Structure 1
Amino acid sequence: MLNDRSQLLFKNLMGLYLNDGKPVGSSTLAKLPEIGLSSATVRNVMADLERMGLIHSPHTSAGRVPTDQGYRLFLDSILTYKPLSNQRVESIRSELTLGLNQDELLENASKVLSDLTGLTSLVLMPNKEREVLRHIDFIALSDKRVLVVLVFNDQDVQNRIIELDGGLSIDELQKTANFLNENCLGKTLSEAKGMLVSRMDKIRATANEFMSSIVEATDFILTEQLEKKVPFLVSGKTNLLNYKELADSEKLKALFNAFDQHNEVVNLLDKSMQAQGVQVFVGGECGNPIYQDCSIVTTPYISDGEILGVLGVVGPSRMNYEKVVPNVDVTAKILGSLLKK
């Protein structure tokens, strides 16, 4: 626990450091009108804060910067967040609604959040195996071309055009749609795929060539949907170049490789799915030395009471939390409401 004087100095030190990224000296703090203490008193208080492990002196400067422990105290006990204005919330909503289906909506959310915060955004994708097949339809485009329409989770629409060897039969097309809707609707993708695999030999033996080809095309789209390998989306990686503590080429290369290798980030985002509300991981809390000098802010996005994935940002530890945290929180809530629709 900090006394009032220590908390005042620590809060102002954090504000100065978050703003310009430079170590803060006692003389700089003593000159602030709200401090009202001598330089000697300020030095004594800063020495106390250093002994408590909240600040330290980097070897390049006599000033002080916060430690991971200092960031944690600041975030948990000192910083207050202001809710976004209604105008700001509606602006975010209008930008997100440009997405037409689930995947496009998630991609859009990733880009919007990166633009809002000036950081690198991460969006953990929903588990494709848990997506539920809601509707199957076939639309004749010509004598030999059919548009296959699959709707997952009421939001994710996948369209594919297939070419047929023989002529098109509208009656057979409707029969095939009825068959697939009767047997696949309400099933998860993996369940629907399993049903088709188990019955494919029988379908080939009892159905005509036209129906078999349509069913096989549907099976192919389900397989394609299940095999999407991107566990999370990343937008705005080059934004990290704007922060001198991360702009070192080796540091950036390591961060970008970590994004590409997925495992460490996915583990952290999976951990976030088990938590309530916005989580902030600072430095060593991120689970990998690569993220030293970084923070990761995350929150789950939820639709119909179900956690579908996680949305968040990666940036320097001295990011503007007062701005970043509300933007991450609101974007996730809007994304969940749009997925529900």
Structure 2
Amino acid sequence: MSEDRKLMVLRAIVQDYVQTSEPVGSKALVDRHHLGVSAATVRNDMAQLEEEGLIHAPHTSAGRVPTDAGYRVFVDRLSQLKPLSAGERRAISQFLQGAVDLDDVVDRTVRLLAGLTRQVAVMQYPSLTRSTVRHIELVPVGAAHLMVILIVNTGRVEQRVVETRSLPAGTDGEELVARVRASLNEVSAGVPFTAAATELRRLVEQAPGEERPVVEAIVSALSDALVEEREERVVLAGQANLARSGGDFATSVAPILEALEEHVVLLRLLGQLGEDPDAISVRIGSENPVSGLQTTSLVSVGYGSGLERVASLGVLGPTRMDYPTTMASVRAVARYVSQILDENNNG
């Protein structure tokens, strides 16, 4: 049997099974696909694929379904992804462009992905530790407080209010705030957080006596923004879509839903970008290290601002998934999100 024909038969089995959810027989393959060979030859090809563990019989019938290994070969041999239509691309762009802030971008993205793919959409918030400082703003609040506003290159905004009773009143106080603001941005704007944190601590040591208490309070507040729990966060949408694929799961969707509640698990899976952060990652069935997710596939890709990938997004659904369409949708949405972040960063 030729390798090319074996892959052709496997591809046809995957496509038919994804479409019908019924085991696929040799006669159906000959009837539906132009394979150029007889049903007997196709049966021989299927026997070889079964020996290699790429398809199996779910019960005593002539039909076969893909295994996790079969889906893996299918995905790895995809020569191209189905392009989205002009209307789909326009709808994605318009839906995401209406977002007013980062929280809105994330919310719209997961709802959009869940609707496009009919799967569970997951999106990791941009990680502060992989981001850069865009600007630090200081806004006086009353006579003894300052609002510290941290703006990140991804569009994320963190706010803290600090007490500044040592701040002089009137013009002197305004000038001191202006000097501190300029100093903070001089050492941190455009700098990755890990480096910016070091520079900001050094700024405290170098601050003149009258400025030091103010600078110290501000830098302490900025440090708190880096370590708060929201730093690592994942957002989901479309969990109800799992119910529509109930027949694809051996028992019930309960173990999947329980695994999805463990956001630390999802963050770990989404955080495992390969050497090429632009490449689409596809974890199929048993490739998922989490037992509750081993009847599912996770399709994910990185997104970010410029050349920097700051987080990932994707969809999770049954292994009987339309991989080419799902991968194309995930990639397209990630590109639009990255474009929005770039516009926010350069705006």
TM-score tier (shorter): 0.7 to 0.9
Taking structure 1 as reference, are residues 251 and 199 closer, same or farther at Cα in structure 2, changes over 3 Å only?
Answer: farther
Say if 1:299 and 1:328, in contact at 8 Å, map to a contact too: yes
User: CA 1:110/1:215 → structure 2, altered by over 3 Å: closer, same or farther?
Assistant: farther
Partner secondary structure for residue 237 of structure 1:
coil
Rate the CA distance shift 1:221–1:105 in 2: closer, same or farther, 3 A: farther
> CA offsets per residue over residues 36-88 of structure 1, 9 Å max, x none?
76654543332232123221011375521001221122222256423223332
- Is 1:109 the counterpart of 2:109? The answer is yes
> SS of 1:137's equivalent?
strand
CA contact (8 A) 2:24 2:63 kept: yes
CA–CA distance in 2 between the matches of 1:71 and 1:175? 63
Which residue number in structure 2 is paired with residue 335 of structure 1? 337
Distance in 1 separating the partners of 2:255 and 2:41: 42
Structure 1 residues 32 and 150, CA, compared in 2 at 3 Å: closer, same or farther? closer
1:92 positional shift = 0.9
Matches of 2:44 and 2:112, distance apart in 1: 45
> Given the superposition, is the C-alpha separation of residues 253 and 198 from structure 1 closer, same or farther in structure 2, using an over 3 Å criterion?
farther
Question: What is the rounded CA distance, in whole Å, between the counterparts of 1:237 and 1:180 in structure 2?
Answer: 45
Task: Name which of 284, 297, 302 aligns with 1:295.
Answer: 297
1:195-214 mapped onto 2 (5 Å cutoff)? 206-207=209-210
Structure 1 pair 180–143 and aligned structure 2 pair: CA distance change class (3 A): closer
CA distance in 2, matches of 1:157, 1:115: 28
**Greater alpha carbon shift after TM alignment, 300-309 vs 180-189:** 180-189
TM-score norm. by structure 1 comes to 0.80
Cα separation, 1, equivalents of 2:328 and 2:257: 26
Q: Relative to structure 2, which stretch is displaced further, 316-325 or 4-13? A: 4-13
Q: Does residue 100 of structure 2 align to residue 100 of structure 1?
A: yes
Please give the per-residue CA displacement for 1:249-303, whole angstroms capped at 9, x wherever unaligned: x643322332333444333323324334112221122233333331111111142
- Compared CA separation, residues 170 and 246, structure 1 to 2 (3 A): farther
Is the Cα contact below 8 Å between 1:110 and 1:235 reproduced in 2? Answer: yes
| 2:311 matches 1:319 | no
Q: Measure the CA separation in 2 of the matches of 1:83 and 1:32.
A: 23
Q: Which amino acid in the other structure matches residue 307 of structure 1?
A: R
The separation in 2 between residues aligned to 1:220 and 1:164, in whole angstroms, is 12
Distance in 2, matches of 1:16 and 1:286, equals 24
User: Are the structure 2 counterparts of residues 82 and 196 from structure 1 closer, same or farther at C-alpha, using a change threshold of 3 Å?
Assistant: closer
- Who is 2:12 aligned against? 12
CA contact (8 A) 1:98 1:108 kept: no
Distance in 2, matches of 1:68 and 1:161, equals 52
Residue matched to 1:24: 24
Partner AA of 2:24 in structure 1: V
In the aligned structure 2, how far is the partner of 1:266 from the partner of 1:139?
34
What is the 5 A alignment of 1:18-167? 18-32=18-32, 34=34, 39-59=39-59, 62-77=62-77, 80-139=80-139, 148-153=148-153, 155-159=155-159
Find out whether 1:272 has 2:289 as its counterpart: no
Compute the displacement of 1:120 (Å): 1.2
Whether the aligned pair in 2 keeps the contact of 1:264 and 1:287 (CA below 8 Å) is no
Q: Which amino acid aligns with 2:297?
A: S
For residues 154 and 57 of structure 1, the distance between their equivalents in structure 2, rounded to whole angstroms, comes to 48
Which is further off, 328-337 or 37-46?
A: 37-46
Map 1:278-289 to 2 at 5 A.
278-289=280-291
Listed as ranges, the gaps of 5+ residues in structure 1 are none
Contact 1:302 1:308 in 2 (8 A): yes
Aligned-partner residue type, residue 185 of structure 1: S
State the secondary structure of the residue aligned to 2:98. coil
State the distance in 1 between where 2:62 and 2:323 align.
26
Determine the structure 1 residue equivalent to 2:227.
226
**Amino acid in structure 1 at the alignment position of 2:266:** V
Show structure 2 runs of 5+ residues with no match: none
Determine what percentage of the aligned residue pairs are the same residue: 27
Check conservation: 1:136, 1:150, Cα contact below 8 A. yes
Q: One-letter code of the match for 1:290?
A: G
For 2:324, what is the secondary structure of its paired residue?
Answer: helix
Counterpart for residue 240 of structure 1: 242
Q: 1:246 to 1:34 in 2, by over 3 A?
A: closer
